[in-house]
Structure 1
Amino acid sequence: MKKVILLLMAVAFLSACKSKSTGIFNSTKKPDIEVLASEEINPALKSKAYGLGKRILNTCNTSKFKPFTTQEATDKVIQNTTLERLSSTCSKYLLKYGQFKDIQLVEVIKNNKDNSHIFRYKAEYQRKFIQKELQVTMNDENKVAAIKSTDWTDVYVP
């Protein structure tokens, strides 16, 4: 009887240890994120992301901000981008980096999970001792879903 129980436990153990397919060799699955070539990007979407990103950073120079509309941004972004919040961030940036000059598109990353596009810009300021990055995330409805400013890194870090 002990041998039968041990044999059943061994069979149960071996069946529980069967390997799963990890998808490493599955060529039909798309990666979660991918860098797009410049010609793969809709020019209207590229222009819209540039305009909205530059509008945010120009607020630091002019102290005037035209709020986003519901056609330009999601409700969450509209609620979070107020003149008061931008002013507090801008005062820090003006002291540290000087006047904002322009942004240069470096790459566009497509997030295949939610079909959004992340536009990575290098932000140019008066003082050039550190490179800043502006990320503008456009969702599948071509609305701004997120705006993020960080120190520049050559490799995208989600």
Structure 2
Amino acid sequence: MKRVIFLLSLLMLLGCKSKNVIQKPIEANIIKLTLSLIDEKQKSKTLEIGKRVLMTCNISKFKPFNSSEATPSVIKNMTQDRLTKTCLKFRLKYGDFKDLQLVEAFKNNEDKNVIFRYKALYEKKIANKELRIFLNEKNQVSAIKSFDWVDTFTNK
């Protein structure tokens, strides 16, 4: 009886041994781009769109995106109501939006998006926010995301 319990315990121990799975890093497909080599039209387009979105917080009016500027999912999700809710939080915490500063850009080779990383400047100096604008191959905005500012890029 002791042998049976010992063998079952040994089999259970061997059966539960975890495998070492090698995961490839998320950032492996993302390459940092030199800002001077990025097309000026792309830079100005993303800056204008970013300012348009964040200025909504100051003036409470939003000019909706058209199909040449953004993908259908972005057009659907960027509504006056959704922006107003977000803006209320931002204005109370950070004050008025002042400007955007392009910090860096990345190319995602997996989905062919170019990620523009802007630091959003607000009235209050405690405001450390990041705005990421994703451009697809057709130069349409495929996503806009806001994060707390971190000096190093992480693919969240």
TM class, shorter-length: 0.7 to 0.9
TM-score between both structures, scaled by the size of structure 2: 0.80
TM-score between both structures, scaled by the size of structure 1: 0.79
Which of the numbers 132, 141, 146 marks the counterpart of 1:144?
Answer: 141
- Contact (CA 8 Å) 2:121, 2:127: kept in 1 or not? no
AA of the residue aligned to 1:147: I
Residue 48 of structure 1 aligns to a residue whose secondary structure is: helix
Residue 111 of structure 2 aligns to a residue whose secondary structure is: coil
Q: Does 1:58 align with 2:55?
A: yes
In structure 1, distance between residues paired with 2:42 and 2:111: 16
Deviation, 1:155, is: 1.1
Corresponding residue of 1:131? 128
Corresponding residue of 1:119? 116
AA of the residue aligned to 2:64: P
In structure 1, distance between residues paired with 2:48 and 2:72: 19
Which of the numbers 39, 44, 48 marks the counterpart of 2:45?
Answer: 48
Which of the numbers 67, 72, 88 marks the counterpart of 1:70?
Answer: 67
Cα RMSD (Å): 1.2
Identity of aligned residues (%): 52
Corresponding residue of 2:97? 100
Corresponding residue of 2:87? 90
Q: Does 1:39 align with 2:58?
A: no
In structure 2, distance between residues paired with 1:49 and 1:130: 21
In structure 2, distance between residues paired with 1:84 and 1:128: 27
